[in-house]
Amino acid sequence: MVVLPWSQLVVAVVAACPAFVLSSPLLGVTKSCAHSVKEQVYHPHGWTIDGAAPPDHILKLQIYLPQPNFHELEQALYQVSDPDHENYGLHLSKDDVESLVAPSSDSLTLVDEWLVSHGLDASSLSRSPSKDWVSIHVPVQKAEEMLRTKYHVWKHIASGSTLIRTTSYSLPTALHRHVDVIQPTTSFARAGPFSTIFRLETEEFEAPPPNAPAIVANGGLKVDAACNTSITITCLQQLYNAVGVKPSAKNGNEIGITGYLGQFASTSDLQLFFANQTPAAVGSSFKFVSVNGGLNNQSSPGVEANLDTQFAFGLSHPAPATFWSTAGSPPFIPDVGTPTDTNEPYTEWLNFILAQKSIPQTISTSYGDDEQTVPLSFAQRVCNGFAQLGARGVSVIFSSGDGGVGDGDANPATQECFTNDGRNATRFAPAFPASCPFVTSVGATFHVPEVSVSFSGGGFSNVFPRPSYQDAAVGTFLRTLPKGKFAGLFNPAGRGIPDVSAQGVNFRIFFNGRQGGVSGTSAASPAFAGIISLVNDARLSKRLPPLGFLNPLIYKLPFAFNDITAGNNPGCGTEGFNATKGWDPISGLGTPDFRKLAEILAL
């Protein structure tokens, strides 16, 4: 492993400003100023330096300014999401949210002065509507000058993918409190889909004999025996008590799926899927939206995109559906000087969607990465963005990960689960953004009756503390955990994941005109989102507001979920956590019962 000496990582912790002058009286400097390290990280295990970054490669730097009133937005989010609060369902408008996340005038002035001092035209730069971030395009050489750092090309040893990153950067000391974080700098996240490889079926899916008796699901419902072979829309409707539901296409309910990393959703495969599983939807499709130059390459569909759109939109039909294609896909390509492969793509989508006036009420994302590869400051800002969506009445749903309690490697024998703090200690590795307390994370089950599947990501955040809505459920689980079990391997005070579960094994999809099976929590997330969209449909049809941020609500309705009490999620050399009665860090509260939810929430 190649590690740079500290003298190369931090260039001048305290140094004079360059020839330019930051003369604002607010900054308290005249002809010189001290610089100090703003952020420093250890590079994640499994990465090595592969050379200096090309000086002319263009970086798209996102500079996030502090949100001094975010605590007020968070308070409002919990009020509109708590069914016991008088403000439940009174979601905030786009303007309301933007006013609560706007930076101070001092921060705006000082950051602009700093940018101007480096030769940038502050008036022409891209900003969020609330001005809580500003985006600049600069070559590596300029970024190194501005941040007093050195960028390198880093290679991920296992996959060979590469990123341009640094492990430390500096700012004028007096500017620190006016900048939350700048990226891409220290984040080594490799956001990817949480699903196994598509398995093409050379023959028709094996069906049980015609006289095979129905099997009984966890909630006592009868389910076709074929659902133990492969999962279809019908299976999910039977399992989650949504048979015969007839949603509206005209009450304003909408659903959306995010797509990243060159994953394109095939409209022709969608029609084959509809013809096979949802005949009433044949002829309908989704609205395609490009984010940051995202393409719509119908000749190169992605398994993940097909899985997500087919099941989420098949379950929620006829709700209008949207698929966002967001550009940005590492690895770095030295001879292409574009900025689209430098940022984590879900931040590009988040910045885009927050600027929209109208947003679908249910959004599912089946991507993520190990939490510890995302610096704390950046994780908090991304998570705060999801809080803004929740405050506006959007249910933000994420897969919980496919590494059990481990680091994303599907083979427990090879999981290393090393910490990134220089100790290389073994520790469970939860996924992000699933660990953000402002999203609903979904684990995976299989079989009927349902059992938690071994790859289902679960555990406790090492970044985010346990939110109050989890105190009772998670506290009960921790009290049942044998004393000393997994001591030092997880953070018992952290946010627990997942929140809920859904089927996640052998989903029957169409890909390039052929049927095949896909497994992963990336299947569970759109399945759960489809059920939530049906609940939103029932509410909107009765002129009730959408559910919005789900977690404060669902933790008060455990009886509306099918409790999963079998299964475990091994990793990091352990058997992982067991599914037990009540909430647990593999199945969460369990799988949804649509009619119970609708009877309570759409009276």
- From the list 373, 322, 325, 375, the residue with the least C-alpha distance to 346 is 325
> Would you state the pLDDT for residue 343?
55
Q: Is the pLDDT of residue 13 over 60?
A: no
Q: Supply the range of the domain harboring residue 17.
A: 6-67+102-188
51 is in an annotated binding site: no
Give the pLDDT confidence of 258-290 residue by residue, as tens digits. Answer: 999 889 999 999 999 999 999 999 999 999 999
**Does residue 385 sit in the same domain as residue 265?**
yes
Contact by Cβ (8 Å): 346, 329: no
Average pLDDT (375-395) is 95
**Does residue 12 sit in the same domain as residue 130?**
yes
Phi, psi of 385 (to 5 degrees): -65, -40
Average pLDDT (528-557) is 98
584 is in an annotated binding site: yes
Contact by Cβ (8 Å): 495, 466: yes
Q: Is the pLDDT of residue 355 over 70?
A: yes
Looking up residue 493, the CATH number of its domain turns out to be 3.40.50.200
- From the list 184, 61, 175, the residue with the least C-alpha distance to 120 is 61
**Does residue 451 sit in the same domain as residue 497?**
yes
**Distance of alpha carbon 221 from alpha carbon 243, whole angstroms:** 11
Beta-ladder partners of 138: 59
User: Could you tell me which residue, 188 or 136, shows the higher pLDDT?
Assistant: 136
Contact by Cβ (8 Å): 586, 443: yes
Q: Is the pLDDT of residue 95 over 80?
A: yes
Let me know if 124 is a catalytic residue. no
H-only helix segments in 102-173: 105-117, 140-147
Give the pLDDT confidence of 157-212 residue by residue, as tens digits. Answer: 888 888 899 999 999 999 999 999 999 999 887 776 776 666 655 444 455 556 66
Give the pLDDT confidence of 300-340 residue by residue, as tens digits. Answer: 999 999 999 999 999 999 999 999 999 875 555 554 444 34
Let me know if 575 is a catalytic residue. no
Average pLDDT (92-105) is 98
Per annotation, catalytic residue among 187, 366, 522, 525: 522
Give the pLDDT confidence of 429-468 residue by residue, as tens digits. Answer: 999 999 999 999 999 999 999 999 999 999 999 999 999 9
Picking from 188, 217, 236, the residue at the C-terminal end of a domain is 188
**Distance of alpha carbon 552 from alpha carbon 82, whole angstroms:** 5
> Would you state the pLDDT for residue 212?
62
**Does residue 108 sit in the same domain as residue 41?**
yes
**Does residue 335 sit in the same domain as residue 379?**
yes
> Would you state the pLDDT for residue 188?
85
Axis-axis angle for helices 521-541, 303-316 (nearest 10): 30
% of the chain residues with pLDDT over 90: 74
The answer to whether position 280 is within a domain reads yes
- From the list 413, 437, 560, the residue with the least C-alpha distance to 493 is 437
- From the list 95, 512, 136, the residue with the least C-alpha distance to 302 is 512
Contact by Cβ (8 Å): 529, 364: yes
Q: Any long-range contacts for 536-541 (C-beta under 8 Å, 24+ apart)?
A: 536/253, 536/361, 536/362, 536/395, 537/247, 537/248, 537/251, 537/253, 537/316, 537/319, 538/247, 538/598, 538/601, 538/602, 539/601, 539/602, 540/248, 540/251, 540/252, 540/253, 540/361, 541/248, 541/251, 541/602
Q: Is the pLDDT of residue 79 over 60?
A: yes
Which band of pLDDT confidence, cut at 50, 70 and 90, is reported for residue 585? very high
Q: Is the peptide bond before 320 cis (omega within 30 degrees of 0)?
A: no
**Does residue 146 sit in the same domain as residue 241?**
no
Per annotation, catalytic residue among 308, 369, 499, 593: 308
The answer to whether position 528 is within a domain reads yes
**Does residue 214 sit in the same domain as residue 290?**
yes
Provide the mean pLDDT of the chain: 88
> Would you state the pLDDT for residue 505?
94
Phi, psi of 222 (to 5 degrees): -90, 135
The answer to whether position 495 is within a domain reads yes
Where is 170: in which H helix or E strand?
A: strand 168-172
The answer to whether position 308 is within a domain reads yes
The answer for 588, left when phi > 0, alpha when psi is -120 to 50, beta otherwise, is left
Give the pLDDT confidence of 65-77 residue by residue, as tens digits. Answer: 999 999 999 999 9
**Does residue 295 sit in the same domain as residue 242?**
yes
Hey, which of 200-209, 405-414, 546-555 has the most confident mean pLDDT?
546-555
The answer to whether position 89 is within a domain reads no
Kindly give, in sequence order, each residue whose CB lies less than 8 Å from that of residue 471, ignoring residues fewer than 6 positions away: none
564 is in an annotated binding site: yes
**Distance of alpha carbon 296 from alpha carbon 266, whole angstroms:** 9
**Does residue 180 sit in the same domain as residue 237?**
no
The answer to whether position 62 is within a domain reads yes
**Distance of alpha carbon 531 from alpha carbon 315, whole angstroms:** 7
**Does residue 563 sit in the same domain as residue 584?**
yes
Kindly give, in sequence order, each residue whose CB lies less than 8 Å from that of residue 61, ignoring residues fewer than 6 positions away: 135, 136, 137, 138, 143, 182, 183, 184, 185
> Would you state the pLDDT for residue 330?
52
Average pLDDT (208-228) is 81
Q: Is the pLDDT of residue 369 over 70?
A: yes
The answer to whether position 508 is within a domain reads yes
The answer to whether position 80 is within a domain reads no
600 is in an annotated binding site: no
**Does residue 470 sit in the same domain as residue 543?**
yes
Count: domains in the chain: 2
Q: Is the peptide bond before 430 cis (omega within 30 degrees of 0)?
A: no
Picking from 168, 188, 208, the residue at the C-terminal end of a domain is 188
**Does residue 438 sit in the same domain as residue 473?**
yes
Let me know if 106 is a catalytic residue. no
Which band of pLDDT confidence, cut at 50, 70 and 90, is reported for residue 32? very low
Q: Any long-range contacts for 266-269 (C-beta under 8 Å, 24+ apart)?
A: 266/298, 266/301, 266/305, 266/306, 266/510, 266/511, 266/512, 267/298, 268/298, 268/513, 269/301, 269/306, 269/310, 269/509, 269/510, 269/511, 269/512, 269/513
Give the pLDDT confidence of 472-500 residue by residue, as tens digits. Answer: 999 999 999 999 899 999 999 999 999 99
Give the pLDDT confidence of 506-526 residue by residue, as tens digits. Answer: 999 999 999 999 999 999 999
Joined together, the tokens standing for residue 5 give 């000496």
Which band of pLDDT confidence, cut at 50, 70 and 90, is reported for residue 228? very high
Per annotation, catalytic residue among 82, 180, 269, 304: 304
Picking from 188, 216, 250, the residue at the C-terminal end of a domain is 188
Average pLDDT (36-55) is 90
